[in-house]
């Protein structure tokens, strides 16, 4: 079975009356979710959408999950367009997607028309009431391939035009099977979903649930600014597993959430997206001593993650956690500037990935696809596509892969090559700092450190100066009440730099 619908139907056959998804307001059993998906799929079948993109414009909810699966039943692939996006970004996504089919909450119809969309709109409530057309659904299913696209996720593009990463069904099946097996997920788990549905971390939550029968609990986003409400929610929903962005975990500890309540049923905490500051990891491990903690690594283009590292507890405080070893059926390796494979410890190279769970490329963007998805230079005998991540890594003495920064976070200053992550690690380890970010402005030729914490700027500068050479010392330290975040839960570097420029004008 290499189709996600096969996995969904197998789960329904075993756990039909058990809860499948709960968004805090609406809860569906597996049987109810399947029925809704088939109703929505039947509504879309009439639009002849096989192997075409269908935009989904809805807030994160149980109905949104049903819409995703309905799109798949219709033989299409889904692309969530977050209705909170500014119109300009939506217009760019629609220009790339070129879809004429959209399923949405009716409250967003006017916004989509204002963004220039002129295609067909299918209201979600109407789709949920459609009679199931088994004949049409079966006809679509008979034509399906495991290489058919499942979803698209739009990421930032260096040209200012968002890039649509497209992923096929086989890639998701391959990865989720490995993921669920590696971390022993089962129907007894309750997965607490933090990530937005247009962020690839949510793919792990959604499909691990579908493949295993685990209950999926969608955490309302407003709770992440209210730790007591968040922790009450985790406890009341009996959540056992968290796959969260680092920033979400840090929010709980920064605001001292565990002084209020500990979600003691959580037995698995997996994190990714940014380097996990040691002091925050320590606080989580002290609160949940019996839980497993895992550092995950991988960009959207390799379908969620390609490596993982189980935290042991004896890691040095002055070094970032390793990103570890490859998941099964993944080839993860380093290439130097001459495209030669690096095998020795301590030598930096670009992290590259091969395997069936790579994304299919970028939608309607062959130039970007050809740039990043390339022939393996170590194997010229037959076609083997690899993805060049743009991330820099090294092997440690144990042979584990370590993240050493982004190529675009690597800067030259005073003739020296500097990894911004190295400065940030020093900041994070300084007493009195709870969160930090370091940015280099090419135009201004300025290195600026932003931080949240109680320490005075002058004292912080003195302590950092004691730990690094002059060419790495930030030109300016800016105290922040809190770090601005992107919708995906990462530090918003653009907002920080705008803040710096505003400070300069004062």
pLDDT digits (tens, 9 = 90+) for 82-131: 998 889 889 999 999 999 999 999 999 999 999 999 999 999 999 999 99
Residue 49 covered by a domain: yes
Q: 128 and 68 in one domain?
A: yes
- Provide the percentage of residues in the chain whose pLDDT is more than 70: 98
Residue 483 covered by a domain: yes
Each residue's pLDDT tens digit, 441-489: 878 889 999 999 999 999 999 999 988 888 889 999 999 999 999 877 8
Q: Say if residue 160's pLDDT is above 70.
A: no
Q: What pLDDT does residue 244 have?
A: 96
Q: 138 and 49 in one domain?
A: yes
Residue 467 covered by a domain: yes
CB neighbourhood size of 362 (10 A): 25
Structure tokens at 80: 């969530």
Each residue's pLDDT tens digit, 122-157: 999 999 999 999 999 999 999 999 999 999 999 876
The CATH number of the domain where 133 resides is what?
3.40.50.980
Q: Which residues of 408-424 are buried (b: 16+ CB within 10 A; e: fewer)?
A: ebbbeeeeeebbbbbbb
Closest among 168, 136, 128 to 49, alpha carbons compared? 136
- Confidence category of residue 1, pLDDT binned at 50, 70, 90: low
Q: 75 and 92 in one domain?
A: yes
Q: Average of pLDDT values for 497-505? A: 90
Q: What pLDDT does residue 196 have?
A: 92
Q: Average of pLDDT values for 344-356? A: 96
Coil/strand/helix, residue 415: coil
Q: Say if residue 321's pLDDT is above 60.
A: yes
Q: 474 and 428 in one domain?
A: yes
Closest among 365, 407, 370 to 387, alpha carbons compared? 370
Dihedrals φ, ψ of 222, to 5°? -65, -20
Mean of pLDDT over the chain: 94
Strand pairing of 416-419 and 410-413?
A: antiparallel
- Give dist(CA 204, CA 212) in Å, integer: 12
- Give dist(CA 466, CA 464) in Å, integer: 5
Q: What pLDDT does residue 159 have?
A: 62
Q: 402 and 378 in one domain?
A: yes
**What is the C-alpha radius of gyration for the chain, rounded to an integer number of angstroms?**
23
- How many distinct helices (H) and strands (E) make up the chain? 16, 27
Contact present, 477 and 437 (Cβ < 8 Å): no
Q: Average of pLDDT values for 374-386? A: 93
Domain span at residue 61 reads 29-144
Q: What pLDDT does residue 188 have?
A: 98
Of 50-59, 92-101, 313-322, 472-481, least confident by mean pLDDT is 313-322
- Given 406, 426, 445, the domain boundary residue is 406
**470: Cβ contacts below 8 Å, ≥ 6 apart:** 414
H or E, element range at 165: strand 163-168
Q: What pLDDT does residue 319 have?
A: 85
Q: 433 and 356 in one domain?
A: no
Residue 311 covered by a domain: no
Q: Say if residue 158's pLDDT is above 60.
A: no
Structure tokens at 376: 């393996």
Q: What pLDDT does residue 157 have?
A: 64
Each residue's pLDDT tens digit, 194-251: 999 999 999 999 999 999 999 999 999 999 989 999 999 999 999 999 999 998 999 9
Q: How far apart are the first and last CA of the chain?
A: 62
The CATH number of the domain where 423 resides is what?
3.30.300.30
Residue 501 covered by a domain: yes
Q: What pLDDT does residue 273 have?
A: 83
Q: 450 and 478 in one domain?
A: yes
How many domains is the chain partitioned into structurally?
3
Q: What pLDDT does residue 234 have?
A: 98
Residue 355 covered by a domain: yes
Coil/strand/helix, residue 436: strand
Q: What pLDDT does residue 468 have?
A: 84
- Give dist(CA 120, CA 102) in Å, integer: 6
Residue 158 covered by a domain: no
- Given 96, 128, 144, the domain boundary residue is 144
Q: Average of pLDDT values for 293-312? A: 96
Q: 479 and 388 in one domain?
A: no
Q: 433 and 385 in one domain?
A: no
**206: Cβ contacts below 8 Å, ≥ 6 apart:** 65, 68, 193, 197, 216
The CATH number of the domain where 398 resides is what?
2.30.38.10
H or E, element range at 333: strand 331-335
Residue 174 covered by a domain: no
Of 161-175, 308-322, 397-411, least confident by mean pLDDT is 397-411
Q: Average of pLDDT values for 342-358? A: 95
Q: Average of pLDDT values for 161-181? A: 95
- Give dist(CA 148, CA 150) in Å, integer: 6
- Given 406, 424, 447, the domain boundary residue is 406
Q: 418 and 363 in one domain?
A: no
- Give dist(CA 237, CA 316) in Å, integer: 35
Q: 435 and 342 in one domain?
A: no
Q: Say if residue 409's pLDDT is above 90.
A: no
Q: 76 and 133 in one domain?
A: yes
Report the phi/psi class of residue 294: left, alpha or beta, with left for phi > 0 and alpha for psi in -120 to 50: beta
């Amino acid at each position: 079975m290499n189709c996600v619908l096969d996995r969904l139907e197998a789960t329904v056959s075993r756990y039909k009356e058990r809860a499948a998804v709960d968004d805090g307001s609406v809860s569906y059993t597996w049987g109810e979710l399947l029925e809704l998906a088939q109703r929505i799929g039947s509504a879309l079948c009439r639009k002849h959408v096989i192997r075409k993109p269908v935009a989904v414009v809805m807030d994160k909810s149980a109905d949104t999950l049903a819409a995703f699966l309905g799109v798949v039943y219709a033989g299409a692939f889904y692309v969530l367009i977050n209705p909170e996006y500014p119109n300009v970004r939506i217009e760019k996504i629609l220009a790339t997607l070129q879809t004429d089919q959209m399923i949405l909450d009716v409250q967003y119809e006017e916004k989509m028309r204002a963004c220039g969309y002129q295609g067909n709109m299918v209201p979600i409530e109407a789709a949920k009431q459609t009679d199931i057309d088994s004949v049409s659904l079966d006809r679509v299913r008979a034509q399906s391939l495991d290489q058919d696209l499942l979803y698209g996720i739009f990421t930032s593009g260096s040209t200012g035009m968002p890039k649509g990463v497209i992923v096929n069904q086989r890639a998701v099946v391959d990865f989720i099977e490995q993921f669920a097996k590696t971390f022993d997920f089962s129907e007894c788990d309750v997965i607490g979903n933090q990530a937005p549905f247009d962020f690839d971390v949510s793919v792990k939550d959604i499909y691990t649930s579908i493949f295993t029968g685990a209950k999926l609990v969608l955490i309302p986003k407003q709770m992440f600014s209210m730790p007591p409400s968040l922790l009450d929610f985790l406890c009341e929903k009996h959540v056992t597993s968290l796959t969260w962005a680092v920033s979400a975990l840090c929010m709980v500890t920064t605001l001292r959430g565990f002084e209020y309540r500990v979600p003691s049923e959580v037995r698995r905490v997996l994190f990714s997206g940014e380097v996990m500051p040691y002091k925050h990891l320590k606080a989580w491990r002290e609160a949940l001593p019996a839980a497993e903690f895992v550092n995950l690594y991988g960009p959207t283009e390799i379908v969620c993650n390609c490596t993982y590292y189980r935290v042991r507890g004896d890691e040095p405080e002055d070094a970032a956690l390793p990103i570890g070893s490859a998941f099964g059926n993944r080839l993860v390796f380093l290439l130097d500037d001459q495209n030669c494979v690096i095998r020795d410890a301590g030598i930096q190279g670009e992290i590259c990935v091969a395997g069936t769970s790579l994304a299919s490329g970028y939608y309607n963007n062959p130039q970007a696809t050809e740039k990043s998805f390339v022939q393996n230079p170590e194997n010229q005998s037959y076609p083997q596509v690899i993805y060049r991540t743009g991330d820099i890594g090294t092997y440690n003495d144990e042979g584990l892969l370590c993240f050493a920064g982004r190529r675009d976070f690597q800067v030259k200053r005073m003739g020296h090559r500097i990894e911004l992550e190295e400065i940030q690690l020093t900041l994070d380890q300084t007493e009195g700092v709870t969160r930090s970010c370091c940015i280099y402005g090419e135009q201004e030729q300025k290195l600026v450190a932003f931080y949240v914490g109680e320490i005075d700027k002058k004292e912080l500068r003195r302590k950092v100066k004691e730990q690094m050479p002059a060419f790495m010392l930030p030109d300016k330290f800016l105290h922040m009440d809190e770090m601005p975040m992107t919708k995906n839960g990462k530090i918003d570097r653009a907002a920080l730099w705008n803040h710096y420029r505003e400070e300069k004008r004062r």
